[in-house]
Structure 1
Amino acid sequence: MACLRDMDAKKPYFAAILVQLGYAGMYVLSKAVFDTGMSTFVFVFYRQAAASMLLVPLAFVLERKSYPPLTFMILLKLFCHALLGLTWSLNFYSIGLKYTSASMGSAATNCIPVFTFFFAIFFRMEKIKFRSLSGIAKVLGIAFCLAGVVTIALYRGTHIRPLNLHHHSGQNTKYQNNVFTPKRRSWIEGSIFLIVGNMSWSLWLVLQGIMLKEYPSKLIFTTLQCLFSTFQLVFVALVFERDSSKWTLHLDLGLLTIVYCGFVVTALNIYLQSFCIEKKGPVFTAMFTPLALVFTLICSVFLGERIYLGSLLGGILMVVGLYSVLWGKAKETVPSEVSIEDGKTHTEEKEATGNHSDDVVPLQ
C-alpha cells in the first residue's frame, strides 16, 4: 500500500517532466522542418487541422449531452480569441523559430508566465504590494524577464560548436552556414517575431481566464477555438503561400511533426498539464517550464545546431525572472507566521489574488 501511495505521489512529477519533453520535441522538430523549406503558414494550418480532427470527435462523444448553450456573442468572442491566441500567435512564433533556432525558441517561452502576469496586472486581475517582499520579488522577476528578452533579441555572441559538425562534407558545410548561422538582421527580426508571438499568447491566456467564467466547458471551449483557428489559418496560408507544391504532404519528417504537434502538444500536453494543476496546483506546474529549455539545448547540440551565448544568457535571465515571480506569487498564498497586533496574538493569512492566470504554463 505504501508503495502504491508513493507511486501516486510521483505521478505529477513524471507528468510535468513529460509535458516539457513534449514541448522540447516540438521546438526541435518544428525548426528541423522549417530548415527543409516547409512553409510556416502551411505547417501551422495543418497542425491545427490535425488537432481539430482529434478534438471534434472527443467533444462530440463526451460533451454532446451536457455542454452549455452557445450564443452568437459567445461564438464571436471565441472566434476573436482564437484569432489572437492561435492564428496570430502561432504564425508569429513559427516565423521567429524559422529565423532563429530551436534553443532560442525554447528560451523565449520562459517569458510567457511573466508576460501573462504583466497583462493580469494591466487588467487589474493581479496586484503588486510594493512594500512587501512578495511584491518586490514580482517586480524583480518582471525586470529580469525583460532583460532576458532584450538580451536574446539584440545579442547573439559566440556559439557552442555542435558535436556532429566535423562529420559534414563541404556541401553540407554550405547548408550549415545557411541554416545554423542566420544573419544578424534575420536573427533580430526572428527574435522580435518570437517575442510578439509569446506576448500574444500571454494575452490570450489572461483573456481565457475571463472567458472560461462565461463559458465553463473547457473541452468545447478548446475544440471551437481549434476549429475557428483552422478556418482562419487556411485563409492566411492561401494569402502568403501561393506555391501549390508547398501544400503537398509526404511521408516524411514534415508529416510526422504535424501529427506530433497536433496530437501530442495540443491534446496530450493539455491533459497532462490539467492533471498536474489538479494534483499540485499551477505554481508547481509552471516551476517545470525551464526544463524544456534544458531538453532543447541537449537535443540541439547533438543534432548539430549552434547554441549562441546570447540565447543562454537570455534564457538564464528569464528563468531567474520566472522563479522570482512564482516565488512572490506562492508567498502570497501561504499563511504567514503568528503575528502580534494590538496586544492580541493571531494567525493572519496573506491576501491571495484569486486569479492564477500568471501561473498558467504555455500550451503551444
Structure 2
Amino acid sequence: MDFAYDARTEELRGRLLAFMDEYVYPAEQVAHEQRARLASPWETPRVVEELKAEARRQGLWNLFLPDAEHGAGLTNLQYAPLAEITGRSPQLAPTATNCAAPDTGNMEVLAQFADEAQKKQWLEPLLAGEIRSAFAMTEPDVASSDATNITTHIEREGDEYVVTGRKWYISGAMNPDCRIFIVMGKTDPDGEDLRRQQSMVLVPRDTPGVTVDRAMQVFGYEDHYHGGHAEVTFDHARVPVTHLIGEEGGGFAIAQARLGPGRIHHCMRLIGMAERAIELMCRRAVSRNAFGKALAQQGVVHNWIADARVTVEQLRLLVLKTAWLMDTVGNRGAHTEIQAIKIATPRAVVDIIDRAIQLHGAGGVSQDFPLAELYAGARTLMIADGPDEVHQRSLARREIKKYL
C-alpha cells in the first residue's frame, strides 16, 4: 500500500487549497451576512453561487464521482485528501464544488442504476449544479437503523406507482432548488426476503400529494447551507412506472451501494473538520493568557493538542487504507474497514472539537466561531448513515465468525 499522493492528486490539492484560501474562507462571513437579508432562510446566498461558478471555472467540480463520463474520474484514494480539504469549511466548500451530500449519493445512484431517460432528466442537471435533490429513506415511526422496518408503500396501479408514507430528516428538502426525491419504500411488503421488499422511485417535488411539512433542527441548527432537513409526507403521490430506479425489490441493494461511498466521504470531511478545530485551538492558545501565562504554555492544553494530532494521523491512515481497499477489492471487500472508520471517525472528531470548544470558553459555543456548528455536524454522524451500534454489531459478528 502506497499512500503517497500521486501527481494528479497533488496538483488538485494545490489548486483546491488555493481556492479555499482565496475564495471559501473569506466567503464564510459574507454568506452569513447575506443570508440574514434573504426573504427566506432557505434561499441560497449570492456568494455561494459565485463560489460554484469559480470552482467550475477552475475545474474543481464533481470531484467525488469516479465515473469519468460524469465526474472527475478520481479513485477513492485520490479523492480522500480533497474531501478532507473541503471538510475544513463544511457549510460552503462541498456545495461550492458540487460535492455536497445528499446530492453526491443521489448522483452516484443515478449514474449507476438509472436508465438513460432518468439520467437525462435528473442526473445531468444535478451534475451541472442547476438543481438539488433529496434522499427519502428515514421514517419517524420506526427504527430506521434497520432499513427493513420502513413502512412507506409504493404500490403499482396500472402504469403508475402510488407512494404513501411519512419521512423525516430528509436532507436538502427545504432548499427551493430541490426538485427530485429518491424515495425508498416497500413494493412487496409481504415478501419472504426482507431485503427484497423495498424499491426506489423518483418523485418530483411538485408531484401532487408531496408535502414538505416542516424543517427539522439538529441541535438547534437548521443547516441552511445543505438545504435543511425536512419532514415530508407522501399522500398517494403518483408517478409513472418509468420512475422506478433499477428493478422492483432492488431498493435495499441500491441503498447499500449508495451508503458505502457516502460513509467514507463523511469520514474524509470529518478529518478536515478536525484539522480546522486543531488550527483554531492553536490560534486561540497562542493569543490568550490565563493565570499569568499564555494558554499555549498550559500543560493541559499541550495534552489536548498533542492527542488531537495523534488521533487525526491515525484516522487519516485508516480512511486512506479503506479508500485503497474500495479501489482495489471493491466496497464489499472493504466492508469491515468502512464500518471501522464510520465508528471511529465521528466519535474521535467530536472529542477533538469538544476540546477546541473548551479552549475557546464562551466563544466556543457562540456563533462567532464555527466550532459549535462543527460539533453538531460531527455528533450527528454518529447516527447518520447507520448508528455506531449497528456497525459495531455487524463488525463484531464478522470477527466472531472466524472462530465458529
The alignment's TM-score, normalised by the length of structure 1, stands at 0.26
Structure number with greater CO (CA < 8 Å, separation at least 6) is 1
Q: Which has the higher helix share?
A: 1
Q: Which has the higher strand share?
A: 2
The alignment's TM-score, normalised by the length of structure 2, stands at 0.24
